Each structure stands twice: as C-alpha cells, then as structure tokens.
Amino acid sequence: MINIPKNKKLVLFDGICNLCNSAVLTIIKHDKKNVFLFAALDSDTGKQVTQHLHIDVRKIDSIILYEPNVSYEIKSTAALKIAKDFGGIWWLTQVFFVLPESIRNYVYDFIAKNRYKWFGKKDQCMLPNTELKAKFI
C-alpha cells in the first residue's frame, strides 16, 4: 500500500477533467491546515489506493477522499468533508448534509456526467509547478 503521512488525507481526482483540476486548485488554496495530498485516479498511486479500497473506477468515476486507517468517502460526501476542513465561511456547506445522500449524489452525478461537455478536458494530467509538487503523490 502507498505510504501516506500521518494526519494527511488523500484526494483522488480525474486528472484530465478541467472542473476537477479547478477543484484541486481550490482545495490547495483553502487548505490552511495543510492536510490534503492529491493523486489522479489513473496514476499509479490512484490505482493502488482504489485497488486497496476495492473501488471499481469504471463504476465510481468520482472524487475520493481517503483517510488511511480511518475511512474513505466518494462523491458529494467527499466534497463536503473536504470543504469542512477549510474552516471559515466554508462551514456553511455542511448544511447540505441535511439532504439525503441519494439526492446529493444525484446532483453530483449529473454534473459529473456532463463535466467534459461543460468544462472540457485536457489531453494529459495537470503537471503541478515546483511550489505544488509536494502536494501530489
């Protein structure tokens, strides 16, 4: 299994999706506690983690928040738990937990299904600059 430092959380994402890459940059910007690391779903790390968690990425093409030895979350729950770690005004996003997960994920899946059409995609994964390289494994 991949070695993730203690007290870190790994965010797996679609590396060619423009929306997903923007989300990663937003997470980095608001990660004041420096808890998040990142890997593309189709990277070696992403494949190792999804295999370890028994996640079939052909069926769950989603953001995954993985906390080693704790838990993992997918889709809307992953996004909301990531936002919870930002602090500040972001606590307001937690109000969406009042909605049933099935409803939250219906909206999430609708956006995910159309993400390439609406936001486009890259030919290859985003390459982090030197400053951000330490955040990617």
Domain ranges of the chain: 9-135
pTM of the prediction?
0.89
Average pLDDT over residues 94-113: 95
Distance CA 23, CA 29 (A): 10
pLDDT of residue 84: 94
Q: Identify the weakest region by mean pLDDT among 71-75, 79-83, 97-101, 130-134.
A: 130-134
pLDDT confidence band for 73 (50 / 70 / 90): very high
Residues 6+ apart with CB under 8 A from 32: 86, 87
Top mean pLDDT of 5-14, 96-105, 118-127 is at: 96-105
Q: What pLDDT score was predicted for residue 49?
A: 93
Question: How would residue 105 be classed by pLDDT, with cut points 50, 70 and 90?
Answer: very high
Under 8 Å between Cβ of 10 and 4: yes
Residue 1: which pLDDT band, with cuts at 50, 70 and 90? low
Q: Which ranges in 6-134 belong to alpha helices (H)?
A: 18-30, 44-52, 75-84, 101-119
